[in-house]
């Protein structure tokens, strides 16, 4: 009788504690070629800031969409608008490891090669300054202090992470996981590139760095263009977000409203936002385990990600990654609007 009673008590206690469980919290460094919305990095950071599953321990910047001066200024301003400027911004690499500015780079999308000063963000530059520590030193120190606990959401070229791996022996083993927006997988549907016919922009800007990261052994969750092409930021979602009135929703409405207003065909894909959303709710995406490697030979496939189910000549020993290839866009947009609009 007594043991029966205590068993039921134990069951009740277990059920009670399961119900009271807060969501699992990911302690993350957001590594980003940042710019304010409508840029996807800005929308992705807004989603992360609004999500209790994500504890942002720092933002590290890298040259990519724009140069690192703009990434720094815009990231500081976004955190200020969100009332979250206790999160530090750490300046990272201003140039890729080896990729040089050339006529193709300067005549196509991206300003990673630019030395221009940062333009004034909406509402002016943030009052808070950059942290003094570099992005790589911050990453290395943070990961070493909490081995196996810190994750990286990498939504720009992978220069900073490659530098951390190369400069700090132990770093790769101590990173819990990376969620990367990058690559285009030609062996899966919707796998064309966007920087060259087969190369995706983030990987193409710094192929040497990406190759170091994909070969490092850090567990990788990859959001390539294949999954981005299944997404759409539709007008109804924009309207719901704009009406919500949160500080970041107001910023997004101001930055994107004019385009949504004048262009009825405007329904952008989501890129970096998918990486963040998949960390918050992995059930949003479908994945396959594939070996993923990067071509860093300076030929026609510079910066192309190549993926397969089993090793092929040249890719022996390269680890597998979890590669996203599909997403439930309706649930994704519900999460996106709900979190930023609250």
The site for Ca ion (CB under 5 A) is made up of 33, 41, 155-156, 272
**Shorter beta-carbon distance to Ca ion: residue 65 or 142:** 65
**Shorter beta-carbon distance to Ca ion: residue 35 or 318:** 35
Q: In 62-209, where do the E strands start and end?
A: 89-90, 150-154, 177-181
The C-alpha atoms of residue 252 and residue 63 are separated, in whole angstroms, by 23
User: Least distance to Ca ion from the beta carbon of 201, Å?
Assistant: 8
User: Least distance to Ca ion from the beta carbon of 33, Å?
Assistant: 5
Structure tokens at 265: 């065909």
**Shorter beta-carbon distance to Ca ion: residue 291 or 336:** 336
Q: In what order do the strands lie in the sheet with 285-294?
A: 89-90, 54-61, 26-32, 150-154, 177-181, 220-223, 320-327, 285-294, 305-308
**Shorter beta-carbon distance to Ca ion: residue 33 or 151:** 33
User: Least distance to Ca ion from the beta carbon of 32, Å?
Assistant: 6
Shortest CA distance to 309 belongs to which of 328, 288, 285, 333? 288
User: Least distance to Ca ion from the beta carbon of 97, Å?
Assistant: 18
Coil vs helix vs strand at 191: coil
**Shorter beta-carbon distance to Ca ion: residue 68 or 318:** 68
**Shorter beta-carbon distance to Ca ion: residue 272 or 296:** 272
Shortest CA distance to 255 belongs to which of 77, 60, 68? 77
Residue 56's DSSP bridge partners are: 28
Do 137 and 171 touch, CB atoms closer than 8 A?
no
**Shorter beta-carbon distance to Ca ion: residue 33 or 296:** 33
User: Least distance to Ca ion from the beta carbon of 272, Å?
Assistant: 5
| Distance (Å) of CA 74 to CA 100, 109, 130, 240 | 25, 19, 11, 25
**Shorter beta-carbon distance to Ca ion: residue 228 or 322:** 228
Q: Using CB atoms within 10 A of its CB, is residue 111 exposed (0-12), middle (13-18) or buried (19+)?
A: middle
User: Least distance to Ca ion from the beta carbon of 128, Å?
Assistant: 22
User: Least distance to Ca ion from the beta carbon of 273, Å?
Assistant: 10
The C-alpha atoms of residue 237 and residue 255 are separated, in whole angstroms, by 15
User: Least distance to Ca ion from the beta carbon of 270, Å?
Assistant: 11
Do 42 and 74 touch, CB atoms closer than 8 A?
yes
């Amino acid at each position: 009788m007594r043991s029966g009673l205590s068993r039921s008590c134990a069951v009740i206690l277990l059920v009670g504690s399961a119900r009271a469980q807060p969501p699992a919290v990911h302690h993350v460094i957001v590594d980003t070629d940042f710019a304010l919305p409508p840029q996807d990095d800005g929308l992705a950071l807004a989603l992360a800031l609004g999500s209790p599953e994500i504890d942002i321990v720092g933002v590290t910047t890298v040259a990519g969409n724009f140069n690192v001066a703009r990434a720094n200024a815009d990231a500081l301003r976004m955190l200020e608008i969100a009332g979250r400027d206790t999160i530090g911004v750490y300046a990272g690499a201003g140039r890729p490891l080896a990729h040089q500015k050339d006529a193709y780079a300067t005549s196509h999308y991206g300003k990673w090669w630019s030395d221009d000063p940062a333009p004034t963000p909406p509402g002016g530059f943030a009052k808070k300054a950059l942290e003094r520590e570099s992005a790589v030193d911050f990453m290395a120190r943070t990961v070493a202090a909490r081995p196996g606990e810190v994750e990286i959401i990498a939504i720009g070229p992978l220069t900073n992470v490659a530098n951390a791996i190369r400069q700090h022996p132990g770093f790769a083993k101590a990173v819990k996981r990376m969620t990367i927006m990058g690559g285009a997988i030609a062996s899966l549907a919707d796998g064309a590139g966007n920087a060259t016919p087969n190369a995706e922009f983030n990987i193409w800007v710094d192929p040497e760095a990406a190759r170091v990261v994909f070969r490092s052994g850090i567990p990788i969750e990859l959001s390539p263009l294949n999954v981005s092409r299944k997404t759409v930021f539709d007008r109804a979602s924009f309207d719901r977000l704009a009406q919500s009135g949160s500080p970041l929703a107001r910023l997004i409405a101001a930055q994107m409203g004019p385009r949504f207003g004048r262009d009825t065909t405007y329904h952008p894909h989501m890129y970096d936002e998918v990486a963040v959303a998949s960390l918050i709710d992995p059930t949003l995406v479908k994945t396959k385990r594939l070996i993923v490697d990067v071509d860093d030979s300076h030929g026609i496939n510079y910066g192309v990600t190549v993926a397969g189910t089993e090793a092929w000549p040249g890719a022996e020993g390269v680890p597998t990654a979890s590669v996203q290839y599909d997403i439930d866009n309706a649930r994704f947009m519900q999460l996106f609007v709900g979190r930023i609009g609250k």
